[in-house]
Amino acid sequence: MNQPLLSLALLAGLCGGSASAQTSPKTSASYSAAGKKARVYATVSGTSQRLAAGAELAFSPAAQPLETQVSVFVDPNHTFQTMLGIGGALTDAAAETFAKLPKPQQQELLKAYYSPKDGIGYTLGRTSIHSSDFSSGSYTYVADKDEALKTFSVKHDEQFRIPFIKQVLTAAGGKLTMYVSPWSPPGWMKTTGDMLHGGKLLPQYRQAWADYYVKFIKTYEQLGIPIWGLSVQNEPMATQKWESCIFTGEEERDFIKGYLGPTLAKGGLGGKKLIAWDHNRDLVYQRASAVLDDPAAAKYVWGIGYHWYETWTGSGMLFDNVRRVHETYPDKNLLFTEGCLENFDLAKVDRWDLGEKYGMSMIGDFNAGTVGWTDWNVLLDETGGPNHVGNFCYAPIIGDTKAGKLIYTSAYYYIGHFSKFIRPGAKRVATASNRDALQTTAFRNPDGSVAVVVMNQTDKPLDFQLWINGQAAKTTSAAHSIMTMVL
């Protein structure tokens, strides 16, 4: 699928608003849809519709719905978490691929992701502290055994990653909520002497490793890249063939309260948002309880991050585990920190289920209480890389560096149905569907507009009414489609 970006220009001037955080369990004024119209944008399998504007829906008085009437109910009078943002990771792989594209395609990509007018308005970003699997090779920022970090330098990143992030910042209007994650300490700090293949942080290097985060954040900020937050460790329970490091719940708790939290505070970075876990939904509750039940650790933690790869076991996505964390620790935040589809195949970039997996995850995560959603690589090349261990994956946009063109997958458009219309500072509002074929979530933006997302993964179209406090508008959810209705 190589959808021209020009079609997105139809979406100009939609939901604006600041990224100010607000918390309120319920709105003070009653919301009415009387006299309102909803603008409809749809992405539909088997058609050319990609975030395409359709006819407006008009609301009219509606009586008590019958069980036979297919309905999506929205109640803007009841609000929940506040949206932080939606975005993707600015990896070495993305930066290297970007550098290989012709200038017009580079500008197209920046607009496609970061323009709220002509693109899908990303506002959230993640990058790695030194190398990850999505780098061309393993590297660190210090010489071996330099416990004092005197040799610390991000010169490696100055070739591709830092220039790329700076262009992204400009494209995003100078504002991007950026957080950082390490995949592994340097090998000499670990029990295995190896950055790859798991292993653990040696006790004698806990302070040096905590100092490393501070060095990285301060260096990036001195280079003009503001850092909003950080996670303790990417996937701390996975021994991978790439950069990885194991932390049990107790080890992560103790590292936070004894080293990383105090070191951030001492370094003047106590205001940075610290994220624990940063792994799959399967163990998210166990890890949250291990860390957050200790007040000495919990005081440093802004929230819990998580990924979607629990499906490797054959499990479905475990949204209820995320909801349990939200219910048990309502004063902490939830953030989706990574997801992508593995086993890249260039011949299958048109697959529709790619987008549907994103849609299902985003609806389920937001309804479970998540405040932000971060895709993995924003850009990969025609091999699904570069990746130094052959772990090739899909990205929403593929940069064909041989042909010098961008390929837009269905995932790009599905993500856009959220990121373009649900802006930072929006509050999730109550929604319910009376048919499981229609998955839905809704938010009220800072400008007062309400964005309702409805997704249909089935093979059949479904007529339904959008019902809001005694007012309803009739429409249809096409087979294998996603739609956003903006009041």
Question: What are the catalytic residues?
Answer: 235, 338
* Rounded (10°) angle between helices 353-367 and 410-419: 30
Distance, CA of 269 to CA of 271 (rounded, Å): 5
Which of these, 222, 308, 227, 295, lies nearest to 261 by C-alpha position?
Answer: 295
CB-neighbour burial class of residue 111 (10 A; exposed 0-12, middle 13-18, buried 19+): middle
Which of these, 148, 28, 16, 137, lies nearest to 79 by C-alpha position?
Answer: 28
Distance, CA of 481 to CA of 220 (rounded, Å): 41
Where do we find the tokens 């139809």? 10
> 439 with 457: CB under 8 angstroms?
yes
Please count the other Cβ atoms lying within 10 Å of the Cβ belonging to residue 404. 12
Q: How far is CA 486 from CA 42, 482, 483, in A?
A: 11, 13, 10
Helices of type H across 368-466:
410-419
469: three-class secondary structure by DSSP: coil
> 48 with 486: CB under 8 angstroms?
no
Which of these, 266, 236, 265, lies nearest to 248 by C-alpha position?
Answer: 236
254: three-class secondary structure by DSSP: helix
Please count the other Cβ atoms lying within 10 Å of the Cβ belonging to residue 28. 6
